Amino acid sequence: MKHEKNGIVLTEEQRRRRRRRSVALAIVLGVVVILFYAVTIVKLGPQVMNRPL
C-alpha cells in the first residue's frame, strides 16, 4: 500500500483480496435475502400476500 499524490494506491494482492471480499459479501447478502424469503413463506404461508391494504 503506497501513499501517493493521488491518494492510497493498492497493490495487486490487496486489489485481489478486496475483490474476493466483495464477492463473498454479495453471496452472503444473496443467501440472506433467499433465507428471509423462504422463512417468511414457511411461517406465514401463501396468506402473506392476501391482506387488506
Instruction: Let me know: does 21 contact 10? Beta carbons within 8 Å.
Output: no
Q: By CB under 8 A, name the one of 2, 43, 46, 50 that touches other proteins.
A: 43
CB of 32 to other proteins, least distance (A): 9
CB of 52 to other proteins, least distance (A): 23
Residue with cell 463473498: 24
CB of 51 to other proteins, least distance (A): 19
According to DSSP H, which parts of the chain are helical? 12-44
Can you say whether the dihedral through the CA atoms of 28, 29, 34, 39 is positive or negative? positive
| Chain contacts with other proteins (rule: CB under 8 A) | 1, 10, 13-14, 17-18, 20-21, 24, 35, 38-39, 42-43
